[in-house]
Structure 1
Amino acid sequence: MYTVIGPIQSRTMRVIWMLEELGQPYQHVPATPQSDSVVQFNPAGKVPVLIHDGTPITDSTAILTYLADRHGHMTYPAGTLERARQDSLTQFLLDEFDAALWLAARHSFILPEEMRLSAIKNTLRWEFEKSQKQLVHRMGEGDFVTGDQMTVPDIILAHCLTWALTAKFPVIEPRLSDFLQRMRDRPAFQRATAS
């Protein structure tokens, strides 16, 4: 059994959703970042943390990749061109979607008030919209980011789009809005968000 540490309103949701998609049992500990329950496994105090066989794994993307590889599902085999494309799209989402949203969050409520630059959010929204257009051209022809198979980048993208709407970053591409609705309709997504 896996143990997942972190609140569902964070990137922890990605890990719980992946475990639900995989049908794997897990225990959820909704400890907050920087709490003793988190720091004992991740000195940086960041969530999520996945504990497997007594070993902590940190960073949501590393955890998703580990779970997909371990269970041979929601990923293409390592060393294939399909996996290279999957990894490329994952990195694009982290660089262009996740990073913009994280930077906006830092300047909204994470950094000390005197360090926040509220005007940066206008630039980040512009970049986020530009990135959406680029992503749509890179996506496969099927229902998922890489095509007909759900993979790690689907979880990252759906989480980022949900986060974007909460942060008032518009989703301007209809294909991405349709994608997000399909992901939200998945039973595993609904179980994860009900946690």
Structure 2
Amino acid sequence: MYKIIGFPRTRAMRVMWLLEELGEAYDIDPALPQSDAARAVNPSGKVPILMEGDTAITESVAICTYLADKHGRFTFPAGTLDRAKQDSFTQFGVDVLEGALWTAAKNTFINPEDKRAPAVKDVCRYEFARGLETLEARLGDGPYVMGETFTIADIIIGHCSGWAVAAKFDLPKEGPVYDYFKGLRNRPAFKAMMARVNEGT
């Protein structure tokens, strides 16, 4: 059984979602970021952390990549053009969509008050909206970014859509990106993950 260290309403959701897709059992230690429990295994204090035996794996994208590669599912083989395209979508999700959301969060409640620049949040909303335009342009016939194949890139991008709702960033109310996000939310594994998140376990 896998063990996740990290409060569920964080990027831990990405790892939980993937483990639900894989059908793998997992326990959660709902440690908050910067808590003693998190710092004990990750000097940065960031969550999530996946414990594989005595080894701590940090950073949600690295964790998801490891699990997908290990189980041979929800990813294309390394060294293939499909994997390169998949990785480009993953990196887009992190750099563009998450980048805007994370910068806004740091300047809302994460950084010390005297280290925040509230005005930057308008720039973040602009960059996020531009990112969604790029996503729409890159989406093919779907239903996923890699066509018929659901991958961890969808998990990263899909998680950003939920984060956007919590951060009060605008999302499309119709069109291809709306349909894409709706399809992700309708996956049984996503619903199972959200049930555990709402339970707080």
Please give the range of the TM-score, normalised by the shorter of the 2 chains: over 0.9
Q: Distance between the aligned counterparts of 2:49 and 2:119, measured in 1?
A: 32
SS in 2 for 1:194: helix
Moved over 2 A (4+): none
1:28 aligned partner: 28
Q: Which residue of 1 aligns with 2:199?
A: none
CA deviation after TM superposition for structure 1 residue 105, in Å: 0.3
C-alpha displacement at 1:87, in angstroms?
Answer: 0.5
In structure 1, the residue matched to 2:170 is: 170
| TM-score, L = length of structure 1 | 0.97
Q: Distance in 2 between matches of 1:88 and 1:50?
A: 24
**Superimposed CA distance per residue, residues 65-104 of structure 1 (whole angstroms, 9 cap, x where no aligned partner):** 0000000000001111000000111111111001110000
Contact 1:8-1:193 within 8 A present in 2 as well: no
Q: Give the paired residue count.
A: 195
Q: How far apart, in 2, do the equivalents of 1:25 and 1:109 lie?
A: 33
Q: Provide structure 1 residue ranges, at least 5 long, that are not aligned to the other structure.
A: none
Partners in 2 of 1:155 and 1:81 — Cα distance? 20
CA distance in 1, matches of 2:56, 2:148: 32
- 2:135, 2:177 within 8 Å by CA — same for their partners in 1? no
Provide the rounded CA distance (Å) in 2 between the counterparts of 1:69 and 1:46. 23
Residue equivalent to 1:54: 54
Indicate the residue corresponding to 1:190 in structure 2. Answer: 191
User: What's the secondary structure of 1:40's corresponding residue?
Assistant: helix
RMSD: 1.1
Identical aligned pairs, as a percentage?
49
Alignment of 1:71-82 (within 5 A): 71-82=71-82
Q: Pick which of 169-178 and 55-64 moved more.
A: 169-178
Q: Is the 8 A contact 2:161 2:171 kept in 1?
A: yes
Q: Map residues 1-195 of structure 1 onto 2, 5 A cutoff.
A: 1-172=1-172, 174-195=175-196
Q: Structure 1 residue 121: deviation in Å?
A: 0.8
Q: Is the 8 A contact 1:4 1:27 kept in 2?
A: yes
Q: Structure 2: 5+ residue runs without aligned partners?
A: 197-201
Question: Contact between 2:98 and 2:160, CA under 8 Å: does it hold in 1?
Answer: yes
Report the alpha carbon displacement of residue 30 of structure 1 after superposing the two structures with TM. Answer: 0.7
* Residue identity matched to 1:183: L
Deviation at 1:163, TM superposition (A): 0.5
CA separation in 1, counterparts of 2:109 and 2:76?
37
